[in-house]
Amino acid sequence: MNQSITQKGLSGFSLKYLAMALMVLDHIQYFFAYTGKIPVFFSMLGRLAAPLFLFCIIEGFTHTHDRKKYFLRIYLLSIFMGAVQFSFYNIGNALVRPDGFFPQNQMLASFSILIVILQGFEWCSGKKWGRGLAAILIPVLLPFAISALMMAFPNPTLNFSLSLLAFTVLPCHSFIMDGGTSTLIFGVILYLCRKNRSIQAVAFVITCLLWDIVRLHFMAPALGVADFFTVAYEWMEVFAVVPMLCYNGTRGQGSKRLFYWFYPVHVYVLYALSCILYRFIV
């Protein structure tokens, strides 16, 4: 990747810092919405964060010199956050806020699955069809296989073990509330169109809008057009294409370790603060 810092536009690190700031706004609204004091536009602006991080993941995967190391950084953190997530579901009131809320932030798991699928595409492009198709299909089909096993063998111990695996070492896209299947779809689109930035932006916008329209049609068929600007504003993620188009192809300057650790640290710090504040104002 061209490392020039004099080129106009936004570097990779600039995009990450922007995404990080938007993510914090989104999570402030997410964790403290119960106060009634956090404006909803914090979350609207936050819709841009995940697509920007996703864009950076595609660029990082494409240009890194060590894909295995790149994957492991994200994957190992995703296992940790998955274990925490599993604990919220299974330990009970010890970790959950009194109103029943707990964080469901597993974007790193979504990114881990995506990287495996992207490597599958790379192998297929190199004519390594067996390895490539396995890397693409296994992560996609894994949730269905685990769900089938749970239904076929309704044993509490087996189901507990399979659920633990699905939240940690074998993350399943359909089990993930934060990202999940949509992240895989958007990520593959960004990857396949990466060689033409304009086509990439248009394809991303169309895919996002189609996904949100279809999803809302089945999940909330009573919603009207006006609701897309109030309660159903997920589609606003399409505005992430503006900073994407400003990307100048350079890495820029910054600490890459910051981005790996900031995500889990800020999530759990904000959650802890929300629990403390809840006890004082509710």
| Position 151 in a domain | yes
Q: How far is CA 68 from the centre of its chain?
A: 20
Q: How far apart are CA 205 and CA 111, in angstroms?
A: 20
**Of 19, 5, 1, nearest to 244 (Cα)?**
19
How confident is the prediction for the chain on average, in pLDDT?
Answer: 91
Asked if the structure places residue 184 within a domain, the reply is yes
| 5 DSSP assignment | S
pLDDT band per the 50, 70, 90 thresholds, residue 219: confident
- Burial group, residue 192, by CB count within 10 angstroms (0-12, 13-18, 19+): middle
Is 90 exceeded by the pLDDT of residue 245? yes
pLDDT of residue 4: 42
Q: pTM (2 decimals)?
A: 0.92
Confidence class of residue 2 from pLDDT cuts 50, 70 and 90? very low
Q: Is residue 161 part of a domain?
A: yes
**Which DSSP symbol is given to 48?**
T
Contact 195, 130 (CB under 8 A): no
In a domain, 170, yes or no: yes
CA R_g for the chain: 19
For residues 220-247, average pLDDT: 86
- H or E element, residue 216: helix 197-219
* Domain total in the chain: 1
pLDDT, residue 8, reads 84
Tell me whether residue 7 is in a domain: no
Contact 194, 247 (CB under 8 A): no
pLDDT: which is higher, 210 or 2:
210
With respect to residue 199, please indicate whether it lies within any of the assigned structural domains.
yes
Terminal-residue alpha carbon distance, the chain: 51
Range scoring the smallest mean pLDDT among 2-16, 86-100, 110-124, 132-146: 2-16
**pLDDT of 5:** 44
pLDDT band at 191 (very low <50, low <70, confident <90, very high): very high
Q: Residue 95 falls within a domain, yes or no?
A: yes
What's the confidence (pLDDT) of residue 92?
Answer: 64
Residues 6+ apart with CB under 8 A from 168: 79, 82, 83, 86
Q: How far apart are CA 109 and CA 119, in angstroms?
A: 16
For residue 27, give its domain range.
12-99+106-281
- CB-CB neighbours of 218 under 10 Å: 7
Whether 6 is covered by a domain: the verdict is: no
pLDDT above 60 (res 273): yes
Cβ-based neighbour number of residue 155 at 10 Å: 12
- Tell me: pLDDT of 90 over 90: no
CA distances from 154 to 91, 99, 146, 150, 167 (A): 21, 31, 12, 6, 19
Biggest alpha carbon–alpha carbon distance for the chain: 61
Closest alpha carbon to 254 in 23, 56, 38:
56
pLDDT of the residue at 185: 97
Tell me: the pLDDT tens digits for 142-184?
999 999 999 999 899 999 999 999 999 999 999 898 889 999 9
Cβ pair 108, 77 in contact under 8 A: yes
6: confidence class by pLDDT, cuts 50, 70, 90: low
Instruction: Go through 98-116 and write b for each residue having 16 or more CB atoms within 10 A of its CB, e for each that does not.
Output: eeebebebbbbbbbbbbbb
Q: Any idea which residue has 């589609």 for tokens?
A: 235
Q: How confident is the model at residue 226 (pLDDT cuts 50, 70, 90)?
A: confident
